[in-house]
């Protein structure tokens, strides 16, 4: 069992190290001053007093609770290993961070629009500027897109409900669900625009690589 685990880590070091980093950071937030960690490393609107230039990267390693961490890391483990083996460690890391940072940029753009709408309500604006975005979900949605594009006919078993679905329809379903929640203006505390942003930037990068590599890798 140990040999199998070590071989898996050796073959997919990026996924293994990302899993470890996210878990270690989560444990740190449970022991140390959570508010201070969030204030420094979560993603805040550009106009917020708490905003710093490194946050579009560091916010990906923070999670709001165990379930948030668990489902993101489960998806990273489930889809990331296959993608790292296929893309290679370097390209996988580039892809992961492009999706995560791209999601952050979309979220920051949406925040600027929200701030303009809240300019006449100082109390709501103050609360908004102090509300962070955190989590690896933007990068994870990028991984879902890549898996669906690379393996459109692969079968994925959903957790809830437990039914099989082809990867391409799985990606379409999640994308449409995020879009529907945006249209309905769901007040669920989830950065749905960031999720779609991660998918969009992932799609752009895959298209760019596909053209540069002359259709050598993508869309099986």
Per-chain mean pLDDT for the chain: 91
220 pLDDT more than 70: no
Cross-strand bridge partners of residue 78: none
| Residue indicated by tokens 């740190």 | 28
Q: What is the pLDDT of residue 5?
A: 40
> Residue 76: CB partners within 8 Å, gap ≥ 6?
15, 18, 19, 22, 136, 140, 143
219 pLDDT more than 70: no
6 pLDDT more than 50: no
Closest CA to 101 of 136, 76, 72: 136
Distance CA(180)–CA(126), nearest Å, equals 28
Collapsing DSSP to helix, strand or coil, 151 comes out as: coil
Q: What is the pLDDT of residue 107?
A: 97
What the chain holds in terms of domains, given with CATH numbers, is 2-212 (1.20.1540.10)
pLDDT grade, residue 3 (50/70/90)?
Answer: very low
Closest CA to 112 of 29, 193, 6, 205: 193
The mean pLDDT of 35-49, rounded to a whole number, is 95
Q: What is the pLDDT of residue 2?
A: 39
pLDDT grade, residue 191 (50/70/90)?
Answer: very high
pTM: 0.91
> Residue 45: CB partners within 8 Å, gap ≥ 6?
51, 108, 111, 112, 115, 128, 129
Q: How many CB atoms lie within 10 A of CB 114?
A: 14
pLDDT grade, residue 51 (50/70/90)?
Answer: very high
């Amino acid at each position: 069992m140990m040999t199998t685990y070590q071989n898996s880590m050796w073959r997919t070091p990026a996924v293994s190290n990302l899993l470890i980093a996210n878990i270690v950071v989560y444990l740190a937030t449970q022991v140390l001053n959570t508010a201070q960690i969030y204030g420094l490393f979560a993603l805040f609107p550009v106009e917020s007093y708490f905003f710093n230039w490194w946050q579009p990267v560091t916010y990906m390693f923070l999670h709001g609770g165990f379930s948030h961490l668990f489902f993101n890391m489960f998806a990273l483990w489930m889809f990331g290993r296959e993608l790292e083996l296929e893309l290679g460690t370097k390209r996988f890391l580039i892809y992961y961070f492009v999706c995560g940072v791209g999601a952050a940029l979309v979220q920051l753009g949406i925040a600027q629009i929200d701030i303009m709408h809240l300019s006449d309500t100082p109390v709501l604006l103050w609360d908004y500027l102090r509300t962070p975005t955190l989590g690896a979900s933007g990068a994870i949605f990028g991984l879902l897109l890549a898996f669906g594009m690379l393996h459109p006919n692969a079968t994925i078993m959903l957790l809830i409900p437990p039914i099989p679905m082809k990867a391409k329809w799985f990606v379409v379903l999640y994308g449409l669900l995020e879009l529907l929640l945006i249209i309905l203006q769901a007040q669920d505390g989830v950065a749905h625009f960031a999720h779609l942003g991660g998918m969009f930037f992932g799609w752009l990068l895959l298209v760019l690589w596909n053209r540069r590599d002359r259709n050598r890798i993508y869309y099986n």
